[in-house]
Amino acid sequence: MEQTFIMIKPDGVQRGLVGEIISRFEKKGFSLKGLKLITVDRPFAEKHYADLSAKPFFSGLVDYIISGPVVAMIWEGKNVVVTGRKIIGATNPSESAPGTIRGDFAVEIGRNVIHGSDSVESARKEIALWFPDGPVNWESSLHHWVYE
Ligand SMILES: Nc1ncnc2c1ncn2[C@@H]1O[C@H](COP(=O)(O)OP(=O)(O)OP(=O)(O)O)[C@@H](O)[C@H]1O
């Protein structure tokens, strides 16, 4: 089954949004396969955002990500990468629809609360980076009530 990497950024942790965000993914029917609260250092954050290293906001983005603990998660489910991005909402909160996490809880692009992998390939790379020991292997007993 498809997996994605979701990270609650330092502002999401500081603002007490961890439970709310986890709840939205759980209620949708996705399964939590990895979870840790972790503060990352600059080289690690630079590696995670390596694709954006040429962007003018890169160093500010890295400062933001290392400014406090983040909640790193693996979520699993059918189409979880694309659906996870829909649950999160557009990158710029001024364009994120109400009902999405960023639409409901964020105002500025540089404080947009949460990250989600943008493709199955990025998810694979990000899960390998953040969870070198891989996901936790379990299946929800609700599986048959979510999938036909
Ligand atoms: N113009 C900008 N100014 C400041 N920060 C930005 C800007 N554009 C993007 N960012 C930050 O960089 C992150 C990564 O940008 P990207 O274009 O990959 O968007 P995304 O894929 O929606 O976000 P994420 O990778 O965090 O899920 C954004 O979530 C945001 O925090």
In a domain, 62, yes or no: yes
Mean pLDDT in residue range 128-135: 98
In a domain, 46, yes or no: yes
| Tokens encoding 91 | 């990158």
In a domain, 79, yes or no: yes
In a domain, 111, yes or no: yes
Nearest-CA residue for atom 18 of ligand 1: 52
Mean pLDDT in residue range 69-77: 98
Domain boundaries, position 122? 3-136
In a domain, 147, yes or no: no
State pTM to two decimals: 0.96
The amino acid present at 24, given as its one-letter code, is R
Q: How many CA atoms lie within 13 A of 20 on its CB side?
A: 17
Nearest one of 50, 30, 65 to 125, comparing CA atoms: 50
What is the number of structural domains in the chain? 1
Mean pLDDT in residue range 120-144: 96
| Structure-token match 């840790």, residue found | 36
ipTM: 0.92
* Ligand 1 geometric centre to CA of 147 (Å): 33
115 an active-site residue?
yes
Contact 75, 31 (CB under 8 A): yes
In a domain, 105, yes or no: yes
